[in-house]
Structure formats: structure tokens, C-alpha cells
Amino acid sequence: MPELPEVEAVRLELDPHFTRHRIEEVDVRRPDLRDPFPRRFRARLIGQTVEVFKRRAKYLLATLTSEETLVMHLGMSGWFYVSAPADPRREIDKHDHVIFRMSSGAVIAFNDPRRFGMMTLLAPRQLATHPVLSALGPEPLSDDFDAAALARACRGRKTPLKAALLDQRVVAGLGNIYVVEALHAAGLSPMRAAGTIATADGKPRDSAHRLTTAIKQVLKRAIARQASSSYRSDRFRVYDRESAPCPRPGCGGTIRRRTQAGRSTFYCPKCQR
């Protein structure tokens, strides 16, 4: 499933084609994705200009002149393809489920073979009370996410640190791959209790500072190289590298794999404490 860096890469690609452009036509080629499209979905989109196009966690949000927000999620296999105005539009694929034709001339197709993606339209009041969006924690790349915020969220928690970081109420958008990478970069065991990065009164310990710095660095590097959909293991330091030597200089440890809450965790038992 695409994680935050992949979704942010999609946002960066789509932004110049969506923002400040009018939706001239929408071809909805099936009645649903993961869920049915909302009532009058096509009609509510046509003629609207996208005022703001942003990402919240792993969701893409396009704010329209109607004040509704088009909310999109890639699911497990969803992706967008853009045909430049000067280029002939690529042949429609059988998995192109929604196709936007923009005032700029760009054609944007949402392709999703497994149909676990999602698109819906929400009014402002619905956006504010959405069961997922309204409960999200701070964005990991925002100024709101720092060692103090992470320590407050983890204070007193006995759950494993990795599980806490995957809790979207603690920090929004982090997924399994980049949590594994960040924990290794910070030198912290995924099995240690989350509360150990905070003092009894919720102040950040050095480990909280190391971890927030590592999270931001890992995500920024992934976005910069547009780690998109290949998920090749050689793009990662420890994820999917069981039995490989630890990449930390001078460590000499070996990467191990274990299962936590049904997900694979990769870590170095020598340098991650």
C-alpha cells in the first residue's frame, strides 16, 4: 500500500494540473471503488475549480469553489496518470475508473486494479466530523510535530513504540515501512514501550528528539527520491533486509525480522535499544 512519501509524490505531480484549474468533464466508468460514489458525484464536480490541493495523512484533498472537498485515497493499488496537454491521451485502460478532463487540457486518470481506493465529496461540516480525518494526529513534516508533541502522545503508554507510531492519532500518515526505517535511524527498538521516550510528566527524553528528527529525515529523503510504487528493498536501509548486515557504521549487527500485530518488523538487535 502506498505510504506517505508515495502519496506526497502523487500530490506534487498532480498539483499543477489540479490547482486553479476547472474540472471540465468527469468520466466515471463504474458505480463504485471501495465504496459507492456519492450521489450526483459527476454533476457536483463538473464546472468546479480546484482552489487548494493538499495531502492529509494518506488522503488527497481538493477543495472546490462549491466549498465541497473531493477526498481521494489510493488504497492498495491506486495511481494517477496524467496526459500532458500537448500529448495524445494514452489509451484508456480497463482499470481507469475515473477520468478528469481539466481546463488546462490535462487528462488525469485514476487507475486502480484492486479497487480499494476511495473518492467522495464532503461539505465543510462533514469534513470536520469525518471519522478518520477528524481524528488524525499532527502531520509528521509539520512544525506541530516535534519531540514535545510525540512525548505527550506517548506518555505512560506501554504499547510497543512501533505500534504507537502506527496509531494515526499519534502522528498522521506513517506506515509500516517508514516507521521501521525511522526507528533504525534513531537507534530505538520497535519493541520498547512507547512511554519510555517521555518522562513521567510527559517531557521528551533524548530518544524522543532522535525519533522525531529521524522520522522527518526518512520521509524527506523518500519524497525527494520519489520512492513511488516499486518498493525495491535496496531503497531501504533495513526494511525487507532480513539477515543483511546492519548498515550503521561500526555496528556489526545483523538485521532480524519479527512479526508485530500481523506486520513485519525489521530491526538490528545490537544497535536498536
Establish whether 220 is a catalytic residue.
Answer: no
Contacts of 197 (CB under 8 A, 6+ apart): 150, 151, 154, 161, 188, 204, 205, 207, 208, 211
Establish whether 88 is a catalytic residue.
Answer: no
Residue whose C-alpha cell is 502506498: 2
**Could you say which of 3, 6, 8, 68 is catalytic?**
3
| Encoded amino acid at 99, one letter | I
Query: What ranges make up the beta strands (E) of the chain?
Result: 23-28, 50-56, 59-64, 69-73, 79-83, 96-102, 107-111, 118-122, 256-260, 263-267
Establish whether 2 is a catalytic residue.
Answer: yes
Closest among 69, 57, 63 to 6, alpha carbons compared: 57
**Could you say which of 155, 205, 235, 263 is catalytic?**
263
**Could you say which of 2, 140, 160, 190 is catalytic?**
2
Establish whether 58 is a catalytic residue.
Answer: yes
Burial 208-227 (b: 16+ CB within 10 A, else e): bbbbbebbbebbeebbeeeb
Rg of the chain over Cα atoms, rounded to whole angstroms, equals 20
Q: Are 14 and 108 in contact (CB under 8 A)?
A: yes
**Could you say which of 6, 8, 55, 58 is catalytic?**
58
Catalytic positions: 2-3, 58, 263
